[in-house]
Amino acid sequence: MKRLVLLISLVHLVLSFPSSCSSAATTPNQLLQVVRDINGDIVKSNARYFLMSSVRGVDGFGGVRRGPTINGAGGAVTADLDRGMPVIFKPKAGKQVEITESTDVNIEFYLDNPTAKCNNTVWEVEGFPGHYYPMFLSTNGKAGNPSELATWFQIKKADSSSYKLVFCPFGGSLLCNDIGIQVVDEQRRLAASADHPFNFVFIKDPYIGINSII
Q: pLDDT tens digits, residue range 13-66?
A: 333 433 333 333 333 345 889 999 999 999 999 999 999 999 865 456 689 998
Of 81 and 54, the structure prediction assigns the larger pLDDT to 54
Q: How confident is the model at residue 67 (pLDDT cuts 50, 70, 90)?
A: confident
pLDDT at 24: 36
Tell me whether residue 62 is in a domain: yes
Tell me whether residue 88 is in a domain: yes
Tell me whether residue 4 is in a domain: no
pLDDT at 118: 62
pLDDT at 8: 32
The 10s digit of each residue's pLDDT in 104-119 is: 999 999 987 665 556 7
Tell me whether residue 6 is in a domain: no
pLDDT at 156: 96
What single letter denotes the amino acid at residue 144? G
Mean pLDDT of 179-202: 88
Domain that holds residue 176: 49-213
Tell me whether residue 41 is in a domain: no
Does pLDDT of 12 surpass 60? Answer: no
CATH code at 137?
Answer: 2.80.10.50
Tell me whether residue 109 is in a domain: yes
The tally of domains found in the chain comes to 1
Tell me whether residue 174 is in a domain: yes
Q: How far apart are CA 84 and CA 115, in angstroms?
A: 19
Say if CB 126 and CB 184 are below 8 A apart. Answer: no
Does pLDDT of 5 surpass 70? Answer: no
Tell me whether residue 84 is in a domain: yes
The 10s digit of each residue's pLDDT in 123-179 is: 999 988 876 778 899 999 999 999 999 999 999 999 999 999 999 998 777 789 999
pLDDT at 1: 46
Does pLDDT of 3 surpass 50? Answer: no
When mean pLDDT is compared over 2-6, 28-32, 88-92, the highest value belongs to 88-92
Which own/partner pairs from 103-107 qualify as long-range (CB within 8 Å, at least 24 positions apart)? Answer: 103/32, 103/154, 104/152, 104/153, 104/154, 104/168, 104/171, 105/152, 105/153, 105/154, 105/155, 106/141, 106/143, 106/144, 106/151, 106/152, 106/153, 107/153, 107/165
